[in-house]
Amino acid sequence: MYSLRANLHWLCGFDQQNTGLIGADGGWTHYERTCWRAEPGSAIFRNSNVNGRGGTSGRSARPDDPNGKRVLMDTIDIKLKMRQETKYLTDGWDGTNRDYLEGRMRTFFESWQARRDVEADPEVLTRAIKELCDDFIGFGPIQDLLDDPHVTEIMVNGPFSIYVERSGRRSLTDKVFDDEQHLKYTIDKMIAKTGRRVDESLPFSDFSLKDGARVNVTIPPISADGISVTIRKLVESVSSMENIVQLGTLDVRMANFLIHCLRGRVNMLFSGATGSGKTTTISLLSAYIDDNERILTIEDTLELNLKQGNLRRLLTRPANIEGEGEIGIRHLFVNALRMRPSRILLGEIRGAEAMDYIQALNSGHRGALAVLHAATPEDAVTRLETMALYAGLNLPNWVIRRQIASGLDIIVQHEQLPDGSRKITHITELVGLDNNEVVLKDIFRYEVESMGADSVIKGKFVAVNPPSFLEKIRRMGIEMEDALFKN
């Protein structure tokens, strides 16, 4: 890295000797020679007249080359040197004035052009400066994908393979990083302000970006094929329950039913596979919680997007480099019960905290919302029971099942169908025990009818049974019409 003084002289166009940039004899220094490479590439300079030798498009001759050999300078080389020379411009950069940064970079190139009598291809120069600005004040080649409202997920499989998901379908993009070091630079920038880390001792990490996008990074040695980055974006176009009704995730009756259940302080578990829409549903539904309620969320990464004023968000903490200081969901859940919550929202149940969750449901904490990974409502109950056993209390299974049936009211099952669409396939009530088995009853479900020639699945939402807690909800002053449960 060159000194700030040298950078300033270079940026301002001073041919001052001994700056490490321009040789004492006005010739080419080591810096300039290392900018050039004799291999094919997308040259952005074409020489107009260097030492009396005319140039051709896309090529430039070194003045100290006795044979007049033409060599190319590609975009990657330009960006590499520009990162070194202009890094000081972005120290403490707040990203609010991109035009200013682009202007300073153009000044840098113009200084180079005037001194060396070279001509820049305007189109490629503009692209190189844009890519550099994306690196400095964004996240490099994936910044355009992050800004694209139609992209819901970004999957980086090493520096040269980037996939995206649009409308539930995945496709390969033409975006690439310059090399693995460029990808590492971007990951470091993503993770810098999160308090998380990823290195050989902890080769994977989950964190959230400022805009709410959820990021997973996995690196060697556990990622055998190289660095992997998965980004699940917060879809800004989906901002209310009406939006997911329009998208066909559920129908109006089901949306109204869930809103009534929320206001009636029904305990709900949101189940489904990764990417099926659980977090989106719980975030949108939570908007109907009254502002006077005290809400506590417990998460590994900040995913739930709530706007209420009396909101406290608790976040797990991984162990430090010495292996100490880890704070898991179970620690946070126990602490949350002492913070006088009106409602607890649990980002995901995945371990022994399931026992604490079940105990809270049976000790008066009504209206709790939680997320769990399971393929069906039946599997959700089984997984909840299994994870409760992780607590090591040696309780018989029937005791755990009785508490699940007593404390949990409904399961909202999500699924991403083969055509990429996301549906709430079941809203299922837990009605009690029969021979020590939890009895489930569907209130609503989605029935698949056919798949069209365009591979789009056709089906319909049907009401199956009214809930057994219907009268209890009505006694709380919530009007839940009988028409909701009629087809």
- List the 214-218 sheet strands across, edge first: 169-172, 162-166, 151-157, 228-232, 214-218, 204-208
Q: Beta 204-208 vs 228-232: how paired, if at all?
A: unpaired
Q: Which residues, 6+ apart, have CB-to-CB distance to 197 below 8 Å? A: 191, 205, 318, 321
**What's residue 113's pLDDT?**
67
**Distance between CA atoms of 141 and 206, rounded to whole angstroms?**
21
Torsion region of 325: left, alpha or beta (phi above 0 gives left; psi -120 to 50 gives alpha): left
The neighbour count for residue 380, using CB atoms within 10 Å, is 27
Please tell me the predicted confidence (pLDDT) of residue 87.
58
Three-state DSSP at 117 gives coil
Strand order through the sheet with 268-272: 311-315, 295-299, 343-346, 369-373, 268-272, 410-416, 422-434, 437-451, 457-463
Domain 241-485: give its CATH code: 3.40.50.300
Q: Of all helices (H) and strands (E), which one includes residue 192?
A: none
Please give the pLDDT value at position 63.
38
Which helix (DSSP H) or strand (DSSP E) does residue 422 occupy? strand 422-434
The confidence score (pLDDT) of residue 82 equals: 64
The C-alpha angle with vertex 343 and arms to 310 and 302, in degrees rounded to 5, equals 70
Q: How many CB atoms lie within 10 A of CB 284?
A: 22
Enumerate the CATH 3.30.450.370 domain ranges in the chain, comma separated.
Answer: 141-232
State in Å, rounded, how far the first CA of the chain is from the last one.
Answer: 70
What one-character-per-residue DSSP string does 136-192 give? HHS-GGGHHHHH-TTEEEEEEESTT-EEEEETTEEEE-S---SSHHHHHHHHHHHHT
d(CA 354, CA 383): 9
Cα R_g (the chain), whole angstroms: 29
The whole-number pLDDT of residue 369 equals 96
- Closest by alpha carbon to 251, among 447, 420, 417, 440? 447
Structure confidence at residue 466 (pLDDT): 95
Q: From CA 477, how far away is CA 486, in angstroms rounded?
A: 22
pLDDT tens-digit series, residues 98-126: 787 788 778 877 776 676 665 667 777 78
Q: Is residue 136 within 8 Å of residue 90, measured between CB atoms?
A: yes
State what percent of residues in the chain have pLDDT above 90: 52
Q: What is the pLDDT of residue 304?
A: 87
CATH architecture entry for 141-232: 2-Layer Sandwich (3.30)
Which residues make up the CATH 3.40.50.300 domain(s) of the chain?
A: 241-485
Q: Please say whether the beta carbons of 437 and 454 come within 8 A.
A: no
pLDDT score, position 134? 84
Q: Which residue type does 357 have?
A: Y
Residue type, 432: G
* Structure confidence at residue 269 (pLDDT): 97
- Under-50 pLDDT residues of the chain: 1-73
The whole-number pLDDT of residue 239 equals 83
pTM (predicted TM-score): 0.75
Give the C-alpha separation, 310 to 312, whole Å.
7
* Per-residue confidence (pLDDT) for residue 451, from 0 to 100: 83
